[in-house]
């Protein structure tokens, strides 16, 4: 038997033994392939190492399930940096014309929690790819007038802006998964 998959190597194989039944679980990398083979009695397995096939074919079930990732949507979307107040005005005007809110992640390159949170926000950005745009501001690389305009006192701060003004914010000094859930709830209120 041969199975075609996006990932041709098998990451792991598990065997489960019962009194009369034997099961073997093959799993491919990521979300690509799941193969469950069940045999009864003393049937031997197809073994990838020595290529032996089942000698006794009685009462054998073979189930293959494949879960392919959605390739039409990105896994993560890189946040566009905002450089100055003029750039922020341009982004806010464009968002207002599209009647879409935006998310701004105010962070610093020296802040560990900011660095840890950024890829998680980029994954969240992929979930809302067509509904909302995500931006980031490194407070050490922009003029302080921009930082004052955002009224930033702690980092990371994630703000939702709509119609040219800040509507809600999450200050992310706690666990990243909690921050992401709070940001998701904030987005649900305004999208």
Positions marked catalytic = 111, 114
Q: What is the largest CA-CA distance in the chain?
A: 77
Distance, CA of 170 to CA of 174 (rounded, Å): 11
Helix (H) or strand (E) holding 107: strand 102-107
- Angle at CA of residue 58, ends 56 and 59, nearest 5°: 140
Count of Cβ atoms closer than 10 Å to residue 134 Cβ: 22
Distance, CA of 156 to CA of 131 (rounded, Å): 23
How far apart, in Å, are the Cα atoms of 109 and each of 112, 118, 139, 180? Answer: 8, 11, 8, 19
The pair of three-digit structure tokens given for residue 37, joined into one six-digit string = 């083979």
Helices 112-127 and 176-190: crossing angle in degrees, nearest 10, is: 40
The pair of three-digit structure tokens given for residue 89, joined into one six-digit string = 């005005």
């Amino acid at each position: 038997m041969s199975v075609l998959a996006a990932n041709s190597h098998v990451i792991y194989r598990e065997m489960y033994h019962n009194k009369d039944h034997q099961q073997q679980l093959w799993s491919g990398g990521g979300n690509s392939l799941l193969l469950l083979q069940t045999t009864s009695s003393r049937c031997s397995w197809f073994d990838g190492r020595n290529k032996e096939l089942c000698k006794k074919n009685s009462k054998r079930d073979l189930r293959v399930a494949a879960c392919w990732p959605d390739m039409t949507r990105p896994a993560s979307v890189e946040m566009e940096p905002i450089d100055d107040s003029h750039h922020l005005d341009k982004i806010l005007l464009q968002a207002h014309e599209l009647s879409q809110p935006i998310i701004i992640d105010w962070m610093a390159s020296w802040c560990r929690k900011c660095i840890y949170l950024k890829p998680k926000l980029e994954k969240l950005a992929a979930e809302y790819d067509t509904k909302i745009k995500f931006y980031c501001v490194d407070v050490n690389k922009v003029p302080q007038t921009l930082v004052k305009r955002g009224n930033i006192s702690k980092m990371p701060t994630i703000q939702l802006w709509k119609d040219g003004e800040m509507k809600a914010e999450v200050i992310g000094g706690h666990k990243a998964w909690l921050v992401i859930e709070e940001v998701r709830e904030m987005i649900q209120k305004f999208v």
